[in-house]
Amino acid sequence: MGGSLAFEGFQCRLMVWWWGGICDAFNHATGPQRARDVCQALGHEMVPKNVEGTRAKLKRLVKLDILAEVGTGIFARRP
């Protein structure tokens, strides 16, 4: 399932539907986010498997040039 969603000017190319929620979390954030922050914004239970799953999705979005990893484990929207 491919496509493209724009949230407040942020272009997010989707390969899987749940990445839209991640993009939305970054649009409502005031700065860089950790996987734990995004997991909490998505309303997931704060257990290691959910945080690690979110971190893996964030890393995939970095590889797709949608997000940037600005520090170890710290993710931000691309400028």
Architecture of domain 3-77: Orthogonal Bundle (1.10)
Q: Where are the domains of the chain?
A: 3-77
The whole model's pTM is what? 0.74
**Where on the phi/psi map is residue 6: left (φ > 0), alpha (ψ -120 to 50), or beta?**
beta
Residues 47 and 17: their CA atoms lie apart, in Å, by 22
> pLDDT digit string (tens) for 12-51?
554 445 566 887 888 888 899 999 999 999 899 999 999 9
Average pLDDT for residues 51-72, to the nearest whole number?
92
